[in-house]
Amino acid sequence: MKRKLLVHGLAAISLYSAAFAQTPIIVQPANQAAATPQPSIAAKGDDTEMQEAIKSLQQMKAGNDDLLQKQQALLEALDELQKQAEQMRIYSKRS
């Protein structure tokens, strides 16, 4: 029984240590030139698609800004409620 427990313990330790073995990290040499992407020739159709994408992103940004303003107002209201609750706790302890 003790031998079986010892074998299982050693197996568990070896599996545990193998799981945390360090893997090699590959680093690019500093003197190697970085690959630069070649600029593609844009067609007129790409310009209109780009403009539509920009408009869509601007609309999304405006919507996000509105949402952030609402969230900020809600946070301020919650902070005020928290302050009032703290005041009530202080006054209730005095009574």
Top-confidence residue, 93 or 12:
93
Is the CA virtual torsion 68, 70, 73, 74 positive or negative?
negative
- What are 80's two structure tokens? 């005020």
Computed over every residue of the chain, the mean pLDDT equals 79
pTM higher than 0.85 for the full model?
no
pLDDT digits (tens, 9 = 90+) for 36-53: 555 555 556 678 889 999
Q: Distances in Å between the alpha carbon of 14 and those of 1, 10, 18, 20? A: 20, 6, 6, 10
